[in-house]
Amino acid sequence: MELYDKTCLECSEVFTHRYSTSFYKGIQVLHPSLRKPIHGIYGFVRLADEIVDTFHQFPKRELLSEFKVQVYKAIDGKLSTNPILHSFQLVVNEYSIPKELIDAFLLSMEMDLDKTAYSTDEYKKYIYGSAEVVGLMCLKVFCKGNEVQYSNLTPAARRLGEAFQKVNFLRDVRDDYLGKGRVYFPLVDFKNFTEIQKREIEADIEADFDAALIGLKQLPNEAKPGVLLAYVYFRQLLNAIRRVKANDITNRRIRVSDLVKIYLLIKVKLMIAFRAI
């Protein structure tokens, strides 16, 4: 089993690298002991997301339903012939990740099958399941069984997940709105998106980032560099979004250049080295 476990975790690492170079780089600056379990979580999240967002020529609802059965069977039986699910169950069982976090995540994936517009309550529910709980799964790994630490850092982890997801919503407006007909922000019509609405959303995200930073500073040293890199990357992405006019946000996908990403990596390493956070 040791060879199979190792190989499955390596499959999740490949999945992470191919689908998100930014997250992969963030994971690479975590302590080596944390990298494989975080890859295991990301591989699971990415696979579920692919089912609802990419497999258009296939019966997505049926595939997601089968996927859910396989997930819980893998966790309960501590084995899966699907390498991504096997690596995920290893992480879930080793770090005692609560099933309610997994339930909430899968519910958000189900919402993506049908919903194209969200009420305020649905918006909060979706963000909790699609982003906040993923941060909490990672926090379980970072805290390594220290439940007091996990409880204390939970609010900040949730706010960081919120910030990341809301930035993604703004970044991906062109694909979500024009490509899939989705509008996640309540009471927003991107045909008539105003500067005032855009600034309100950006201010809300800033508040999430500010609240998250308090907890980020309290993370275990092994986890802090990777989370900090993701934090400064998404904050930089928000700054880039700010420079785009509201009526132009559906015309392009905003990104951070590779050169800026290198600068941010160096900045984070220096901040950690000089204990600036």
The amino acid occupying position 242 is R
Handedness of CA 250, 208, 37, 223 (dihedral sign): positive
Q: Does the pLDDT value for residue 45 go beyond 90?
A: yes
Q: 111 - beta bridge partners?
A: none
> Which pLDDT value is given to residue 273?
87
For the four alpha carbons of 127, 131, 134 and 139, in that order, the dihedral sign comes to negative
Reference 48, options 76, 67, 26, 69; nearest CA is 67
What is the CATH number assigned to the segment(s) 117-277?
A: 1.10.600.10
Residues 6+ apart with CB under 8 A from 162: 127, 131, 132, 208
At 51, list the tokens: 């089912």
Cα–Cα distance for residue pair 16/24, rounded to 1 Å: 6
pLDDT by residue (tens digit) across 110-154? 999 999 999 999 999 999 999 999 999 999 999 999 999 999 999
Q: What is the pTM of this model?
A: 0.96
Distance CA 160, CA 232 (A): 11
Q: How many CA atoms lie within 13 A of 89 on its CB side?
A: 22
Give the domain ranges of the chain. Answer: 1-95, 117-277
Q: Which residue, among 87, 90, 24, has the nearest Cα to 226 in the 3D structure? A: 24
Distance of CA 132 to the CA centre of its chain: 8
Asked if residues 48 and 104 have their Cβ atoms less than 8 Å apart, the reply is no
Task: Report the C-alpha gap between 28 and 50 in whole angstroms.
Answer: 23
Q: Position of tokens 């990301």?
A: 42
Residue 232 has a CB neighbour count (10 Å cut-off) of 19
Q: Is the pLDDT of residue 36 over 90?
A: yes
pLDDT digits (tens, 9 = 90+) for 180-235: 999 999 999 999 999 999 999 999 999 999 999 999 999 999 999 999 999 999 99
